[in-house]
Amino acid sequence: MVVEVGDGLRQEFWCGEHWIAPEADLADTDLACVDLNTTNLFGANLSGADLHSAHLVTSDLSGADLFRADLSALNGVATCFVCADFHGADLGLANLMGAKLDGACFVGADLGGANLAGASLQGANLTEACLGGANLFRANLDGANLRQVQSMGANYSDANLRSVDLSGADLHGACLFRTDLTGVVADQVTRWPDGFDSEAAGVIIED
């Protein structure tokens, strides 16, 4: 599923006392529940910001700094987060359906219960991230790093996990129905759903 961010993004405007614009410095600001749909926040500094339940549908946050930001319950449908930094961020229950997250950093981030159906996460770094109960139906994670990811009960059905690194990952109870695991690398610590034959699915088990 390919989603393009639309033309005509809002470029510069005031939101309360905050100036919203590309590359804006919005670190540690309170933007909870605000309407930032179709907004250009390319390269913005949102580290530590509170975006709980904010609306960012079809916005552009490519290259944005979201280090330890609160993005829980965010509505980010079809939003562009290419190469954004979500290191340690809270994305629990966020709606990121169809979002573009290629090359983004999610190291240590919490995506528990997030909706990532149809999202693109090619080459994303999800090392030690939490994906417990997340919906990744038809998501594209080609070449992503999922080392030590916690994704118990996650839905990976029809997802593309080609060439993903799952070393040390926990997928107990996850749904891997028709998941493409071609070229996936795992190790003896990787935990699979009960009865799942990883080698038959094309997984490379390394010592």
- Residue 1: the pLDDT is 33
- Using DSSP's 3-state secondary structure scheme, residue 180 falls into strand
Which range among 88-92, 141-145, 188-192, 197-201 shows the weakest confidence by mean pLDDT?
197-201
Walk me through the domains of the chain, giving residue ranges and CATH numbers: 26-207 (2.160.20.80)
The pLDDT tens digits for 55-79 are 999 999 999 999 999 999 999 999 9
Can you give the pLDDT at residue 7?
62
CB hemisphere CA count around 7 (13 angstroms): 0
Task: Tell me which residue of 42, 48, 5 sits closest to 20, measured CA to CA.
Answer: 42
Mean pLDDT of the chain, nearest integer: 95
How distant is the alpha carbon of residue 32 from its chain centre? 19
The pLDDT tens digits for 30-53 are: 999 999 999 999 999 999 999 999
Q: What's this model's pTM, rounded to 2 decimal places?
A: 0.94
Could you give the percent of the chain with pLDDT greater than 70?
97
Both tokens of 134, joined, read 């997340």
- pLDDT tens readout for residues 163-198: 999 999 999 999 999 999 999 999 999 999 999 999
Q: Which of 8, 76, 15, 53 is nearest to 64 (CA)?
A: 76
